[in-house]
A and B are shown apart, each in its own frame.
Chain A
């Protein structure tokens, strides 16, 4: 087995909360960046009248779209929490002992936001 293959298969570097926080922050950022142009285009529909915007809003009643919306709220909230943690580390100083609690709070806060949104949505 080549050295790179061993490194790829070695899960030790990923076996801690910090790696997962990094991965979730990156994926949520990527997801939001991809979603944003579509979000802006939909809102821009209001230029042609409220009916056009209502047409898109009717489309969002589909269950799969609703699930996607909840996922987007989660991504936004988790990216916010992760970003605040990074800002704290960069400008307030690195406190290793705080990291598990901060990461857990980010996850819990994001899940709470997504659930609140989901409960209001249905």
Chain B
């Protein structure tokens, strides 16, 4: 299906030349998910950077962190959205890097990235629960 005279390699891969329509569709969806999550993450990261710069003044203690976050629905929702954004954004970015190094996508890479997304989501939501709703202070 590749048109004659077209350069091969990255350019060809970027155009998804010769790939089935369903694959092109999934690539487009991943691109959209990457950009959509980037917009959400941009807002989250601004808040996170400001919080970190402010919070580390005078040293960090668990009591100080948990005092701010425990029982707070606002922080719980904020960090849950943050984690969800990261679990979408990071694996898609890694997938692009791996595909570029290996010269193409594969089912194995997709499965590995899906597993990475699941790990980020599980560990991230566990952390959100730990600092916003957990007990044991």
Interface on A for B, CB 8 Å cutoff? 26, 29-30, 32-33, 36-37, 39-51, 53-54, 57, 60, 73, 76-77, 79-80, 83-84, 86-87, 90-91, 113, 116-117, 120-121
Contacts and interface: CB of A to CB of B under 8 A. Distances in A.
A73 B54 CA distance: 13
B136 interface: yes
Given A26-B97, A46-B131, A47-B134, A40 B123 contact: yes
B134 to A, nearest CB: 5
Interface of B: 35, 38-39, 41-42, 45-46, 48-49, 52-54, 56-57, 60-63, 65-66, 83, 86, 90, 93-94, 97, 119-120, 123-124, 126-127, 129-131, 134, 136-137
Contact of A49 (B53, B119, B120, B136): B136
B67 to A, nearest CB: 10
B60 A76 contact: no
Contacts, number: 102
B48 A50 contact: no
Given A36-B86, A50-B137, A116-B53, A44 B123 contact: yes
